[in-house]
Structure 1
């Protein structure tokens, strides 16, 4: 009997191990995340104690059999009243592709723009000011190619269209129900009522990066972007951008630097404006439910530093402290500059990941009451304002 029991146990263990190995080697992975935020805004007098609520629920699907590859993510957001009291859903990204024998890759679908610091130009949850101007963590519909890994790498992408707009509540602007910040048509009720109807089209992006030093701990790169702006009246114009970046690690210290210049040549009529502004001094950009104006010409500067702490406190580990600074210097309209600084810490515990961020902003749509501040600025909001963000996310 004991022999039979031992054989049965061995068979069960072998079956379980084989099943686990099969699951581990499966090319298809399905996962997701759910995240919650506590937020306090220094300018929000009706929420003196801040507010807490759901931030995001998302579903991730990845496929990789060594040659055929793909990735997709869909998100649902429901924000509490302190954050607008609205909901929306959208495709974050979704592409399929092939990996060649030399490890280079070709992707087709809604994919990341290969521009600037990658994959992010920031350490914190709210990213850098480049994100809100459409130059960080951005996804559009097109074809991308990434060269084989090595000391010199390059990527090329062509995006005939943006990533599209999806669904949201009645208190959102339909064209802005998306993840990535794109040039979008303004909204008469949830926007600025300018009547601008621009869209991004036929964007070509190239990026080259050189990795050097011991274990390729340093990277220097250059990026360039050209594309069309379709104004809905049959008069297309052009946009372009150029960036230099560096990132490196010095033991536990991480550094990110980027300098970026962009120029949008718009063709707006005299009535396509608000507040008497030059209608060609700004474009309307939208995501997360709402559009806002952004200066048509500007320079963006990013300087981030981080430090990895060798701490382990109970179940918590992976501690990183950081300070991320970025600025938009506007080169049109006499507009005042916008700034963003985030000092914070991130850490993990099993499948949980946490951010604790203290943010200072000026003329910034998410870190000040000056929602139009990436273009013209309000005389009422000349000082820096504060935002605290505490986030807990479970990733599975």
Structure 2
């Protein structure tokens, strides 16, 4: 009995043991320009409807950053496995992949170029809101996406211009999925369990983003627009389809208050062997269908509490809503609402969130493979989620 319990909770024990060790570790400055660090994180999931109440190891990651007057670079590699929701593999590292890995050159203080696996400059940056769990923008392949290519950035006092060209995605690394062995959500080859799944290879992705910085009624603001276009090369039919995405966004900050808004139109015209109404995407060792055509709307409101409270500091309160309206009339729309807080507790950074979703592949047991396509349970599902991290 004791041995079985140890095996069941071994990843959690490993996390806390490693955390005790990490308390004496800090980011290591290898040189004046090079730093090596990382993070060790646990997660807590509570879903009474599915009888889930788990404290688990979440992630171990290694970060490398370089910064000089001219050369810059950044890389991050992540390790998962051995505990929920990756308890189908035996050990930490059985699911692993880079989040990004790029080098860059600074022409001057306002201009730079990055080459490698870098973040696609689309919409609100770096994230579509304040949440740790992220919204539906992430699972439709737009938020926090890092692909292999080259990106140019021009950032001055008034304007931010970014242009990226990505011949391919960030590759497939270690895991069990056919097309989801990656950090970023990209067009993918469907696993066998995905009904109406497709096998597309997204190539030659061109992304443009232009944003204007200004002050509106006391709000430090950014108003911008983004464009994405790419080729969807179907591996079954040998025919090329197209993906086109347009977005407008607003970012505002006034004292402790923050607002983020975005409206996005995604139009995919695949040449699948089966239905063209969905395209398969994948990430984090899984694949699922996404409606080919739809509108994504999101809104985020946040408030930074001033000062410290005993051992707690840096408290942020936030609410985030995202909705994916699908153009196909028979498909059920997807929604996700997150109400949460993030804060530091001594050396730990913690996010605690209430997740409320409808036809959401990651919430409440709605269909993982079809929720963003034709739809899932079509009812509101609830979960409590927390992430506890030590960053060094």
| TM-score tier after normalising by the smaller chain length | 0.7 to 0.9
State yes or no: 1:159 paired with 2:155: no
Q: What is the aligned partner in structure 1 of residue 228 from structure 2?
A: 225
State yes or no: 1:356 paired with 2:352: yes
Stretches of structure 2 lacking an aligned partner (at least 5 in a row): 1-27
Q: What TM-score do you get using the length of structure 1 for normalisation? A: 0.86
Measured in 1, the distance between the counterparts of 2:118 and 2:97 equals: 14
Measured in 2, the distance between the counterparts of 1:236 and 1:219 equals: 36
Instruction: Compare CA radii of gyration and give the structure with the larger one.
Output: 1
**What displacement does 1:332 show?**
1.8
Measured in 2, the distance between the counterparts of 1:23 and 1:124 equals: 30
Superposed CA deviations along residues 115-136 of structure 1, whole A, max 9, x for unmatched, are 0000100211111100000010
Stretches of structure 1 lacking an aligned partner (at least 5 in a row): 1-21, 273-278
Aligned to 1:74, what secondary structure does the other structure show? strand
CA contact (8 A) 2:278 2:292 kept: yes
Q: What is the aligned partner in structure 1 of residue 65 from structure 2?
A: 62
Aligned to 2:49, what secondary structure does the other structure show? coil
Measured in 2, the distance between the counterparts of 1:88 and 1:66 equals: 36
Q: Which residue of the other structure, out of 268, 271, 278, is the alignment partner of 2:272?
A: 268
Measured in 2, the distance between the counterparts of 1:204 and 1:176 equals: 22
Measured in 2, the distance between the counterparts of 1:125 and 1:145 equals: 27
Q: What is the aligned partner in structure 1 of residue 80 from structure 2?
A: 77
Q: What is the aligned partner in structure 2 of residue 341 from structure 1?
A: 337
Query: Which is strand-richer, 1 or 2?
Result: 2
Aligned to 1:173, what secondary structure does the other structure show? coil
The 5 A counterparts of 1:1-396 are 23=29, 26-45=32-51, 47=52, 50-78=53-81, 80-81=83-84, 85-86=88-89, 87-168=94-175, 172-188=176-192, 191-192=193-194, 194=196, 196-213=198-215, 217-232=220-235, 233-269=237-273, 272=274, 279-332=275-328, 334-370=330-366, 371=368, 372-378=370-376, 381-396=377-392
CA contact (8 A) 1:259 1:300 kept: yes
Q: What TM-score do you get using the length of structure 2 for normalisation? A: 0.87
Measured in 1, the distance between the counterparts of 2:219 and 2:156 equals: 11
Name the Cα RMSD after superposition. Answer: 1.8
**What displacement does 1:266 show?**
0.8
Measured in 2, the distance between the counterparts of 1:351 and 1:144 equals: 35
Measured in 2, the distance between the counterparts of 1:311 and 1:99 equals: 36
**What displacement does 1:174 show?**
3.3
